[in-house]
Structure 1
Amino acid sequence: MSNKAVFLDRDGVINVDHAYVHKPEDFEFIAGVFAACRSFQQRGYRLIIVTNQSGIARGYYSEQQFAELTTWMKEQFLQHDVRIDEVYYCPHHPTKGIGDYRQQCGCRKPEPGMLQRGIAAFNLDPEHCVMVGDKHGDIQAAQRCGIGTKVLVRSGQKFDQKAQSDADYTCDALADVPALL
Structure 2
Amino acid sequence: MALVLTHLGRERRGLTQDAKTKPIHATKAARAQMKSHPAARHVEMKRRLSEDREYHFQRGPLSLMRPAVFFDRDGVLNEDDGYAFDPDKIRWVEGAQQAVKAVNDAGYFVFVVTNQSGVARGFYEERHVRKLHEWMSRELAIVGAHIDAFEFCPHHPDGLIERYRVLCNCRKPQPGMIRALLERYPVDIDSSFLIGDKQSDVAAAQAAGIAAHLFDGSNLHAFIAPLLKDRPLHRVQPHSVRVDGG
Counterpart check, 1:153 vs 2:199? no
Map Cα deviations across residues 108-130 of structure 1 (whole Å, 9 max, x no partner): 00000000011111121221111
CA distance in 1, matches of 2:101, 2:127: 28
Indicate yes or no: 2:104 matched with 1:41. yes
1:109 aligns with 2:172: yes
Q: 2:153 aligns with which of 90, 113, 124?
A: 90
Correspondence for 1:174: 220
Deviations, residues 147-173 of structure 1 (Å, cap 9, x unaligned): 0x3111122xxxxxxxxxxxxxxxx34
Give the counterpart of 1:80 among 122, 133, 143: 143
* 1:174 to partner: Cα distance: 2.1
- In the alignment, structure 1 residue 122 sits paired with structure 2 residue 185: yes
So what's the TM-score if we normalise by structure 1? 0.87
TM-score calculated relative to the size of structure 2: 0.64
1:50 aligns with 2:113: yes
Distance 1:125 1:145 in 2: 13
Percent of aligned pairs sharing the same letter: 38
Rounded to whole Å, the distance in 2 between the matches of 1:57 and 1:67 is 15
Unaligned segments of structure 1, at least 5 residues: 156-171
What is the count of residue pairs matched by the alignment?
164
| Larger relative helix fraction | 2
| 8 Å contact from structure 1 (residues 2, 44) kept in 2 | no
Displaced runs of 4 or more, over 4 A? none
Name the residue aligned to 2:90: 27
Across the aligned residues of Structure 1 and Structure 2, the Cα RMSD in angstroms comes to: 1.2
Identify the residue that residue 124 of structure 2 maps to in structure 1: 61
Structure 1 counterpart of 2:45: none
